[in-house]
Structure 1
Amino acid sequence: MLNWKLENNFDFNGRTIKWDTKGDGAPIVVVHGTPWSSLNLQHLINGLADQYKVFYFDLLGYGQSDKSDGDVSLGIQNEVLTKLIQYWQLDKPIVIGHDFGGTTVLRTHLLNKVEYKKLIVIDPVAISPWGSPFFNHVNKHEAAFSGMPDYIHEAVVETYIKTAAFKALDQTTIEGILEPWKGAYGKPAFYRQIAQADARFTDEIQDKYSSICTPTLILWGEEDTWIPLDKGKKLHKLIPKSEMQIIPNSGHLVIEEEPLKLVEKIKKFIGKS
């Protein structure tokens, strides 16, 4: 099991958000997606922390943050990110989001009017319709899934997360992803966050992408089967002057499969005037 512990607490309406920082320099905020946690951003965090101060956290309902019954939808995550950026006293940070994290950073910018110096999204959930067949099935039948025996639940989640990667994941990574979703606290939290997913959270910002003036980089795993590359190309067309880089031999979990390539492209983009 990977040793990954977030040391700091932030109170969001009585619920604890776990967060941490690494490195020194200009601030970068990184935001994970589903069903991941900040653990899966560790390669990006380590790769960027040699030049920047990286702020990272677990979304509400994920990882080490509060996973009690309550709102963990995309409709709340941008409020969490907005409050954290205010709490950290960051003025126009560089922001990176993967998957639902990409949705969150887009919503935070477009709905909460939080300004970024630069914006990087990695295989974001941004264009409707979205959701795999499994995801949509769980969305409709949360109670049936959350009532499964633990060993079946863990097998289902492991099988599901493997489909996000083009390359085989090592067992340590798989266990790190599974750990927050185990037990009486984690199992219902896994199905809760899927049940609360709704395309209306992207529908309400999709027509606003053309208003984004922040320099934006779109990174996409070429073999992504969760959110096909065509969605990324459409997003690229919708965001004026955005750049798009396609990462070969990687799927939706490109943050685990090709982190060095991501770091290289991110640093090059940030370094542009």
Structure 2
Amino acid sequence: MPILNTNGIMIHYEVKGEGKPIVFTHGASWDSSQWREQVAALENEFTTIVWDVRGHGHSSLSADKFDSEDFVKDLISLLDHLQIKQASLCGLSMGGHISLQTAIRHPHRVSSLVLIGTPFTNQFNWYEKIAVPINRWTNRIMPISWLAKLQAIVLSKYNPANRVYIEEAVRSLSHSDWNRLWDVISRMESKEDLEQVHCPTLILYGEHDSLIKRQQVYMHERIKDSILFPIRHAHHATNMDNPQEVNERIRTFLRAESKRAPIHLGGSSL
């Protein structure tokens, strides 16, 4: 199990395959195992890199104060460690936002983005401005076992096989670490920076994803070189709900980007 010591923490990562590098960043409370279907489908054509964000999976979380900029620093440190000058970044939810912020802060290190179920703010409308603070409060009083079970039930509707993985991943977090992480994650903000993204960007969202669906057209309209795609039969666990369609969209996008060819994926809006 490769470990990178950086920025006062230990980062777990895995590299498979050969070819153009693509780095996968998981969603909040999950870990790098989320991407097993994508790695299996793409490692014969690309260098796939998965990692556990600090405080998740096998990566550590120090007692020091941190913010979302540290997530970006960790990802850049991983690229440096692997001697990768530029890579495609793919992320779901929190992982998409980390990838997005990396492209904004370090545009020369990111050749393209794949943003799956990605929020770029937690204050998009009045609902989020009210609901997110309430959510932070409920997370402070809810046992992690309850949160794990609730997530697993809600996000396994379109693929029942998700349930065991999600519950185990969330249960692996301590209550205190999760609340420290969620307090930072739920304050990530990129709404005013979207137009700074200039690399080719594939935006995917589950057609039934009630958590982030309302933000996707807005993001697509402000990232100039982006295409927007719904994924059928999928909620917020999009890459696990319908891995076949997600894999094909990513593969087609990366092939086109590698050839510097126009991307024709039949993108649509909400």
Fold-level similarity (TM above 0.5):
yes
Match of 2:53 among 59, 74, 92: 59
Q: Secondary structure at the match of 2:75?
A: helix
After alignment, is 57-66 or 186-195 more displaced? 186-195
Which residue of structure 2 aligns with residue 212 of structure 1?
A: 197
Which residue of structure 1 aligns with residue 96 of structure 2?
A: 102
The answer as to 2:140 corresponding to 1:156 is no
* Counterpart AA for 1:140: W
CA distance in 1, matches of 2:176, 2:192: 34
CA distance in 1, matches of 2:121, 2:27: 15
Paired residues of 2:8 and 2:62 also in contact (CA < 8 A): no
The answer as to 2:158 corresponding to 1:167 is yes
The answer as to 2:250 corresponding to 1:259 is no
Which residue of structure 1 aligns with residue 134 of structure 2?
A: 137
The answer as to 2:55 corresponding to 1:93 is no
CA shift, 1:265, in A, is 0.7
CA distance in 2, matches of 1:267, 1:33: 21
Q: Name stretches of at least 5 consecutive residues in structure 1 with no aligned partner.
A: 1-6
CA shift, 1:138, in A, is 4.4
Higher relative contact order, structure no. (Cα contacts within 8 Å, ≥ 6 residues apart)? 1
Q: Name stretches of at least 5 consecutive residues in structure 2 with no aligned partner.
A: 262-270
* Counterpart AA for 2:222: L
Q: How many residues align?
A: 254
Relative to structure 1, the CA distance from residue 12 to residue 177 in structure 2 (aligned partners, 3 Å threshold; closer, same or farther) is: farther
Q: Percent identity?
A: 20
* Counterpart AA for 2:236: H
Residue-by-residue CA offset, 1:97-143 (whole Å, 9 max, x unaligned): 11111110111121234432221110112144266988643423555
CA distance in 2, matches of 1:104, 1:157: 23
CA shift, 1:246, in A, is 0.7
After alignment, is 78-87 or 129-138 more displaced? 129-138
Relative to structure 1, the CA distance from residue 42 to residue 141 in structure 2 (aligned partners, 3 Å threshold; closer, same or farther) is: same
Which residue of structure 1 aligns with residue 208 of structure 2?
A: 223
CA shift, 1:179, in A, is 3.0
